[in-house]
């Protein structure tokens, strides 16, 4: 019995050590960037983690520089992420509600197709999407990337949302139909109010993708005033002449602020949505 207790204590100690190491690996780079954003000069390198003096001039320079349109890029990204989230979550909910509540020919095939397509990385289709957008004159527009982001959302979220909808008793639907409710009324008045955890999870997932995406936005957006924040930040340090990494660090901190706040306030609903959606297939 004593040997088993020692073994459990060793396993528990190893778990804590692993968690501490993972926490350090995650926190250290973030803390270095935060400290770098308030460090005087242009270099991120320093002999000490904490700067001897603190300055917020880099944050001020982001919004007053003639060459860095940080405020414009920030608003562009916010617009793209917001509309992509609204449209993408709507498509996910409608698709997952249909495959969860209705039985129709080709239902299992459709679910299999969604599962298989979701396994392929999105950049495999970028050339085809680029040519399609070029033909319909949507290159260098925010509408183009909003439509693409939102259209791809069901591939990643349908099965998770379906799993959550499967946990909602069908007896609620049947009782509503007896009272004369339509399918849309059941969806909007019964299913959605009970789906707040999965809505939160899907909204955060769909918002974070466009907010941080670089590859597709760089491919489609050509005008500097239409860039998203990721493209603009890349351009800041792209050339050899621009080595203002402390300015880049200040921009990185501002990018992380909205996502951090959302995760902090919606953490419980996020975890509930993820675990509930994964409880059934």
Check residue 85 and give its pLDDT: 93
Judge whether 77 and 227 are in contact, CB under 8 Å: no
Check residue 278 and give its pLDDT: 45
- Between CA 172 and CA 194 the distance in angstroms is 11
Check residue 143 and give its pLDDT: 93
Tokens of 244: 């203002």
Of the candidates 109, 95, 204, 102, which has an alpha carbon nearest to the alpha carbon of residue 154?
95
- Between CA 142 and CA 121 the distance in angstroms is 22
- Between CA 278 and CA 166 the distance in angstroms is 10
Check residue 20 and give its pLDDT: 92
**pLDDT < 70 positions in the chain:** 1-3, 44, 239-243, 269-281
Of the candidates 176, 179, 202, 170, which has an alpha carbon nearest to the alpha carbon of residue 189?
176
- Between CA 154 and CA 94 the distance in angstroms is 9
- Between CA 226 and CA 235 the distance in angstroms is 13
pLDDT in tens, 156-199: 888 888 888 888 888 888 888 888 888 888 888 888 888 888 88
Judge whether 132 and 254 are in contact, CB under 8 Å: no
Judge whether 259 and 270 are in contact, CB under 8 Å: no
Check residue 5 and give its pLDDT: 77
Check residue 212 and give its pLDDT: 85
Check residue 280 and give its pLDDT: 44
Check residue 241 and give its pLDDT: 53
Judge whether 150 and 203 are in contact, CB under 8 Å: no
Judge whether 208 and 262 are in contact, CB under 8 Å: no
Of the candidates 3, 150, 13, which has an alpha carbon nearest to the alpha carbon of residue 84?
150
């Amino acid at each position: 019995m004593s040997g088993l207790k020692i073994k459990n204590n060793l396993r528990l100690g190893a778990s804590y050590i692993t968690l501490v190491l993972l926490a350090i690996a995650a926190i250290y780079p973030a803390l270095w960037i935060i400290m770098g954003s308030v460090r005087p000069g242009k270099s991120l390198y320093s002999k000490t983690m904490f700067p001897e003096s603190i300055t917020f001039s880099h944050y001020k320079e982001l919004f007053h520089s003639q060459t860095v349109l940080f405020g414009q890029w920030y608003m562009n990204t916010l617009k793209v992420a917001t509309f992509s989230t609204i449209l993408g979550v709507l498509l996910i909910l409608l698709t997952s509600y249909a495959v969860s509540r209705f039985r129709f020919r080709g239902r299992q095939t459709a679910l299999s197709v969604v599962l298989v397509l979701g396994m392929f990385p999105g950049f495999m289709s970028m050339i085809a999407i680029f040519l399609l957008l070029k033909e319909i004159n949507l290159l260098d527009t925010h509408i183009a990337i909003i439509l693409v982001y939102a259209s791809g959302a069901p591939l990643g979220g349908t099965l998770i949302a379906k799993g959550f909808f499967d946990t909602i008793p069908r007896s609620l639907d049947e009782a509503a139909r007896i009272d004369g409710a339509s399918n849309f009324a059941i969806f909007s008045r019964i299913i959605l109010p009970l789906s707040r955890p999965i809505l939160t999870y899907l909204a955060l997932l769909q918002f974070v993708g466009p907010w941080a995406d670089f590859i597709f936005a760089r491919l489609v957006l050509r005008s500097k005033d239409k860039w998203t924040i990721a493209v603009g930040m890349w351009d800041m340090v792209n050339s050899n002449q621009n080595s203002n990494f402390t300015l880049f660090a200040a921009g990185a901190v501002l990018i992380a602020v909205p996502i951090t706040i959302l995760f902090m306030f919606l953490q419980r609903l996020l975890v509930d949505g993820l675990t509930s959606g994964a409880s059934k297939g």
